[in-house]
Amino acid sequence: MSKNILITGVAGFIGANLTLKLIAASKFEKVIGIDNLNDYYDVSLKEYRLKVIDEAARKNFGAAWNFQRGDIADKNFVDEIFAETQPEVVVNLAAQAGVRYSIENPATYIESNILGFFNVLEACRHCENLRHLVYASSSSVYGNNKKIPFSTDDRVDNPVSLYAATKKSNELLAHCYSKLYNIPATGLRFFTVYGAAGRPDMAYFKFTNKLLRGDDIQIFNYGNCERDFTYVDDIVEGISRVIDKPPTSEPPYKIYNIGNGHPVNLLEFVDILQQELIRAEVLPADYDFEAHKKLVPMQPGDVPITFADTKDLERDFDFRPNTPLREGLRHFAQWYKTFYHI
Ligand SMILES: NC(=O)c1ccc[n+]([C@@H]2O[C@H](COP(=O)([O-])OP(=O)(O)OC[C@H]3O[C@@H](n4cnc5c(N)ncnc54)[C@H](O)[C@@H]3O)[C@@H](O)[C@H]2O)c1
């Protein structure tokens, strides 16, 4: 029996953090990571994350680590990796992320999120060792869900962005493969993940870059939005617990929310972010934040609130995310200060 785990999107924000945890935990003999290192955002950040993983792996005498650059939309590449490594667990995090980008660039979502995911499913089907497929879905599948908190029992048939439609499609495809080929599959709906070395296309990171340059920041829906911000360590803890416990239902298929369960208004979020940026000395104490805040209408594809119901996660894995927003943003601000030598 192989003791290998294959993680796609390993140079990404969540993938890199998960890999660091798994290498340290030595649960698997080998962690194999793949990523196409695309330039959706600054590639040097992805290279930095890989360097951190390389260093951690060198210091650790447990799990071996191997990185291969390639695209999950390339069927030959995916098949070869599976044949070579015979993974016992697969965590599919590679995807084109971002709601707004999907409005202007739909093709890349179909390629990575639909074709890429299909290739991963097909490879899982032919992988004898496979014990569990865990894959990233998203809170965006809830669209304009009126009922809060969002439960995995709610109907999610009305996506408001192509990104959301691809994530919902992943859940449907996984269900089909689980049912037809008895592949244990768990989909995880992540809620607005943030943290150190995160994604520069997300609000907390983008706002920080803009404020530092003296540009204005746009706060959508005039600030009347709430997001269930979830610290990356909580997401990684959730994934690593889920990995260990493939579903035993018939078909072996489950979906969970992983979110903080405490939505925060965008204006309050910006307020905490600015306090932490001052505290970390990224911005000066006398920075005129008010002069740089622009309240603007809602954007297409956006939703007014996200709010995770995490009862199922608590029941099945004895875990609920609990990092307070201020603490998580403090880690981000401190990392930003060091990384960009401010
Ligand atoms: N960060 C969040 O708030 C959030 C919320 C909900 C869901 N998700 C999902 O979680 C997963 C990880 O998100 P993240 O925030 O770490 O994003 P990320 O963009 O930092 O990571 C994704 C990684 O996948 C790689 N990738 C993309 N397409 C690929 C392809 N075709 N082949 C190989 N590699 C490819 C990218 O280069 C990137 O390094 C994604 O599936 C995303 O949709 C993230």
Q: Residue 294 corresponds to which tokens in the numbers above?
A: 């622009």
Give me the residues paired with residue 134 across strands. Answer: 91, 186
Q: For residues 69 and 37, is the Cβ–Cβ distance under 8 A?
A: yes
| pLDDT tens-digit map of 303-324 | 899 999 999 999 999 999 999 9
Q: Give 40 Cα–ligand 1 centroid separation in angstroms.
A: 10
Q: Residue type for 47, please?
A: E
Question: How does the average pLDDT of the chain come out, rounded?
Answer: 96
Looking at residue 1, what is its pLDDT? Answer: 41
Residues with Cβ within 8 Å of residue 65, at least 6 apart in sequence: 19, 23, 30, 31, 33, 53, 54, 57
Q: Is the dihedral of CA 115, 121, 126, 128 positive or negative?
A: positive
Q: Return the DSSP state at 5.
A: E
Looking at residue 62, what is its pLDDT? Answer: 67
| pLDDT tens-digit map of 45-74 | 999 999 999 999 998 776 899 999 999 999
Mutational pocket test of ligand 1: of 34, 36, 303, the residue with most ligand atoms within 8 Å of the beta carbon:
36
| pLDDT tens-digit map of 206-250 | 999 999 999 999 999 999 999 999 999 999 999 999 999 999 999
CATH 3.40.50.720 describes domain 4-198+229-261+305-322: yes
Determine the average pLDDT of the residues in 17-37: 95
Point out the residues that are catalytic: 163
Q: Give 8 Cα–ligand 1 centroid separation in angstroms.
A: 9
The residues spanned by each domain of the chain are: 4-198+229-261+305-322
CA distances from 212 to 2, 96, 176, 202, 330 (A): 48, 27, 48, 16, 17
Looking at the predicted structure, is the pLDDT value of residue 193 above 90?
Answer: yes
Q: Give 166 Cα–ligand 1 centroid separation in angstroms.
A: 13
Determine the average pLDDT of the residues in 285-293: 97
Q: Give 13 Cα–ligand 1 centroid separation in angstroms.
A: 7
Looking at residue 302, what is its pLDDT? Answer: 84
Q: Residue 250 corresponds to which tokens in the numbers above?
A: 């018939």
Looking at residue 42, what is its pLDDT? Answer: 97
Share of the chain above pLDDT 70, in %: 99
Strands 30-35 and 64-69: what pairing?
parallel
Looking at residue 43, what is its pLDDT? Answer: 98
Mutational pocket test of ligand 1: of 8, 14, 79, 96, the residue with most ligand atoms within 8 Å of the beta carbon:
14
Q: For residues 260 and 230, is the Cβ–Cβ distance under 8 A?
A: yes
Pocket of ligand 1 (CB under 6 A): 8-9, 11-15, 35-38, 46, 71-73, 93-97, 112, 116, 136, 138, 190, 192-193, 199
Query: How far is Cα of residue 323 from the mean position of the Cα atoms in its chain?
Result: 16
| pLDDT tens-digit map of 91-141 | 999 999 999 899 899 999 999 999 999 999 999 999 999 999 999 999 999
Determine the average pLDDT of the residues in 265-283: 97
Looking at the predicted structure, is the pLDDT value of residue 2 above 80?
Answer: no
Determine the average pLDDT of the residues in 72-101: 97
